[in-house]
Amino acid sequence: MILVLIDHDGGEIDPLSLRALTAARKLGHDVEAVVIGQSGAELAAIAGEYGASILHVASHASISDYTPMASGRALKDLVEKLNPAAVLAAGSPRGNEQLAHLAAFLDIPMAAECSQITLGAPHHVLRARWAGNLIESANVHSELLIATVLSFSTEPESINGPAASVSQFEPNVQPADTIVRVLSRSTGESKGGVTLNDAKVIVSGGRGVGGPDGFGNLEELATLLGGTVGCSRVVTSSGWRPHAEQVGQTGTKVAPDLYIAAGISGAMQHIAGMKNSKTIVVINTDPEAPILRYADYAIIGDLHQVIPALTSAIRQAKG
């Protein structure tokens, strides 16, 4: 049996978890799922739709929001009870963090960002390194495989299964497990209410935007296209935009239908977060910018002129 951690936020599933469920199912074993927090019980229907027969729900008074070490403790308790062949999760920052705590509790290795998994003795994985520019082939010498699934390496496939049966349990959470916890929240939503994870269109800005005021034109274009605004790490580091909008290895990994990169040079960590986009349009004054190697379409010019021109043309086309 393979156990899959379904990550959620107040009962709203992380879509990457559906990819992890699909990857687990393709390994040819029975699949069960686990959620941390009582609100995760609401996900029994979608867990079953994607192949999980049982949804284990870890509930504890100390777990009211994302609490990564407590998640690791809950997973440890469940693993010791179920003895699965593998524990998988989405290769998101949260998925990686929670499984890292599980591996630390069990004192065994963890393989992150795996694009291919073969169970055996030893287990074999292919995993992304150096922001996806290197694929590592590695053996994992541990009876239990703990691994996360590389974002967007597996397409989510529903099998229209029945709702998973729900099994509640209370983990043995220790006081130290809740030292790291959520204190406050920012929704990370654009004015149109679309998040980076949900957006089919993302208009991202980098250092070339020039400052926080320069994002007004990007917001207008994104709203017109029914999308949202993203940004590079230098933008959030400068305080121009919130971290929730950062696209990249240390931000959010995205794969929209359309990604417009304006004034972004293309650092490795940013490319890692958006290179799976279906269509990439780059607007940059530098014809040698590294990001141009990933562009389907490139506009060499000043974004402060190009973006308003694009917006105007799209408005006219829409009538």
Question: pLDDT tens across 263-272, in order?
Answer: 999 998 899 8
User: If you average pLDDT over every residue of the chain, what do you get?
Assistant: 94
Q: Which residues of 156-193 are buried (b: 16+ CB within 10 A; e: fewer)?
A: eeeeebeebebeeeebebeeebbeeeeeeeeeeebeee
* Token pair of 22 as six digits: 């699909």
CATH class of 201-318: alpha beta
With a cut of 80, say whether residue 204 has pLDDT above it. Answer: yes
Mean pLDDT of 217-236: 96
Handedness of CA 47, 51, 53, 57 (dihedral sign): negative
Where does the pLDDT of residue 185 fall: very low under 50, low under 70, confident under 90, or very high at 90 and above?
confident
> 302-307: which pairs have CB atoms within 8 A and are 24 or more residues apart?
303/205, 303/208, 303/209, 303/217, 303/262, 303/263, 304/210, 304/214, 304/217, 306/262, 307/217, 307/218, 307/221, 307/262, 307/283
Which residue would you say has higher pLDDT here, 185 or 277? 277
Is 201-318 in the same CATH topology as 2-178? yes
Residue 189's pLDDT is: 47
Mean pLDDT of 68-90: 98
Residues in a beta bridge with 77? none
Residue 190's pLDDT is: 47
Please spell the DSSP secondary structure of 113-182, one letter per residue.
EEEEEE-SSSEEEEEEEGGGTEEEEEEE-SSSEEEEEPTTSS------PPPPEEEEE-----GGGGSS--
Residue 187's pLDDT is: 56
Judge whether 8 and 40 are in contact, CB under 8 Å: yes
0.85 exceeded by pTM: no
Residue 319's pLDDT is: 77
Domain chopping of the chain, boundaries: 2-178, 201-318
Where does the pLDDT of residue 193 fall: very low under 50, low under 70, confident under 90, or very high at 90 and above?
low
With a cut of 70, say whether residue 108 has pLDDT above it. Answer: yes
Quick: pLDDT tens for 128-159. 887 667 899 999 999 999 999 998 899 999 99
Map residue 233 onto helix, strand or coil: helix
Which residue would you say has higher pLDDT here, 82 or 128? 82
Q: Does a cis peptide bond (omega within 30 degrees of 0) precede residue 122? A: yes
- For domain 2-178, give the fold: Rossmann fold (3.40.50)
Judge whether 225 and 203 are in contact, CB under 8 Å: yes
Residue 237's pLDDT is: 93
- Could you give the percent of the chain with pLDDT greater than 70? 97
Residue 131's pLDDT is: 67
Q: Which residues of 79-108 are buried (b: 16+ CB within 10 A; e: fewer)?
A: beeeebebbbbbbbebbbbbbbbbbebbee
Quick: pLDDT tens for 20-66. 999 999 999 999 999 999 999 999 999 999 999 999 999 999 998 99
